[in-house]
Amino acid sequence: MKKRILVVSSANMDMVMNINTVPSAGETVIENGSYAYVPGGKGANSAVAISRLGAECTFLTRVGNDANANSLLELYKKEEIDISYIKKDDNAPTGLATIFVEKNGQNRIIVFAGANQKIDRETVSEALNDAPDALYMQFEINHDAILHAANEAYKKGIPVFIDAGPADKTFPLEKLPRLEIFSPNETETLGFTGIAPTDDDACMRACLELQKRIDAKYIVIKLGSKGAYVFDGEKGEMFPSYEIKAVDTTAAGDAFTAALTLKYLQCQDIALSCKFANCAGALTVSRHGASSSIPSLDETQAFFEKVIM
């Protein structure tokens, strides 16, 4: 039977600019690169990944009453995502992200959260009453909604998975209940612990620091092109990434944690799940855009079989 995952997180329209040079303060740069509006938002990217990787996904977010919202909702319907808990807000615009993608595929992102900040407790409680197999969240929405969702899910026995993006040092980690997986990237790890996870030893120290603030069965630090580090409360293990030509790293972390969550729910094997998630992340960086770059189950499975042989 298909797993049912409730994603309570963000939806944005991304304005992606493929550029040669990031301007300095006061400088105007004329670019010969390209730009496009593409659906994004950490929550939406993960919801698309969960659906493409073969689970049933309910996406709870809030959008504005505007043209961007209409295009995003069209995409979610096409991706077979359940949108019955997405509300339109008359007083805040749909979230917008400006993404600069440099030639090496690295990105810099500025997010205007807009309606994402208006997710309310009542809608979250209603969605949790549908008894999903898991709750999946990130930090791109209001703290109150995240804490309410996590604590209510925990009380109902629904496992909670958190991708700690974007880095928000003000988030009160201590108020979260027991989590199944907590997954920050390098910047978020540095933000929460003051430790840059540059090697195995630093990853272990960062996990021990995080453990003082959160109760998670697994902490999985996403290390970009280096792979991921998994800590089970006692031991840590590095899972190197798989080689692929990176053109745009946008949404790779979202695809990674979504794939990790789904695979882990299916097999309860963190090592296997991490390898599968590394495949989903690698395929995502090999393409341009946010949700547009997320691979299907068949593509991910084929890549997985090739790399683990």
Task: Please state the closest distance from residue 200 (CB atom) to ligand RIB, in A.
Answer: 26
Is 250 an interacting residue with respect to ligand RIB (CB under 6 A)?
Answer: yes
* Interface with ligand RIB in residues 70-129 (CB under 6 A): 97, 109, 111
Task: Please state the closest distance from residue 96 (CB atom) to ligand RIB, in A.
Answer: 8
CA nearest neighbour of 111 among 151, 141, 149: 141
The residue within the footprint of ligand RIB, chosen from 206, 223, 277, 290 (CB under 6 A), is 290
Tell me whether residue 236 or residue 253 sits nearer to ligand RIB (CB atom): 253
Task: Please state the closest distance from residue 36 (CB atom) to ligand RIB, in A.
Answer: 12
Q: How far apart are CA 248 and CA 100, in angstroms?
A: 10
Is 41 an interacting residue with respect to ligand RIB (CB under 6 A)?
Answer: yes
Size of the site for ligand RIB (CB under 6 A): 16
The residue within the footprint of ligand RIB, chosen from 7, 40, 149, 219 (CB under 6 A), is 40
Is 280 an interacting residue with respect to ligand RIB (CB under 6 A)?
Answer: no
CB 152 within 8 A of CB 124: yes
The residue within the footprint of ligand RIB, chosen from 7, 8, 12, 295 (CB under 6 A), is 12
Helix axes of 121-128 and 143-155: crossing angle, nearest 10 degrees: 30
Helix axes of 252-267 and 270-285: crossing angle, nearest 10 degrees: 150
Q: Between 195 and 234, how does the x/- string for binding to ligand RIB read (CB under 6 A)?
A: ----------------------------------------
Q: Which residues contact 65 (CB under 8 A, 6 or more apart)?
A: 88, 89, 90
Q: How far apart are CA 114 and CA 84, in angstroms?
A: 20
Alpha-carbon torsion (129, 119, 292, 307), positive or negative:
negative
Tell me whether residue 82 or residue 188 sits nearer to ligand RIB (CB atom): 188
Is 254 a residue of the active site? yes
Take residue 172 and report the two structure tokens written for it: 């009160």
Q: How far apart are CA 111 and CA 45, in angstroms?
A: 14
Q: Are strands 56-60 and 4-8 parallel, antiparallel or unpaired?
A: parallel
The residue within the footprint of ligand RIB, chosen from 79, 82, 140, 248 (CB under 6 A), is 140
CB 258 within 8 A of CB 280: yes
Q: How far apart are CA 107 and CA 105, in angstroms?
A: 6
Task: Please state the closest distance from residue 254 (CB atom) to ligand RIB, in A.
Answer: 5
Stretch binding ligand RIB (CB under 6 A), from 19-27, 38-46, 83-91, 127-135? 38-46
Stretch binding ligand RIB (CB under 6 A), from 27-35, 196-204, 250-258, 268-276? 250-258
Q: Which residues contact 196 (CB under 8 A, 6 or more apart)?
A: 186, 189, 190, 202
Is 42 an interacting residue with respect to ligand RIB (CB under 6 A)?
Answer: yes
Q: What are phi and psi of 249, to 5 degrees?
A: -80, -5
Tell me whether residue 106 or residue 266 sits nearer to ligand RIB (CB atom): 106
Question: Hey, which residues are catalytic here?
Answer: 254
- The contact set with ligand RIB (CB under 6 A) reads 10, 12, 14, 40-42, 45, 97, 109, 111, 140, 250-251, 253-254, 290
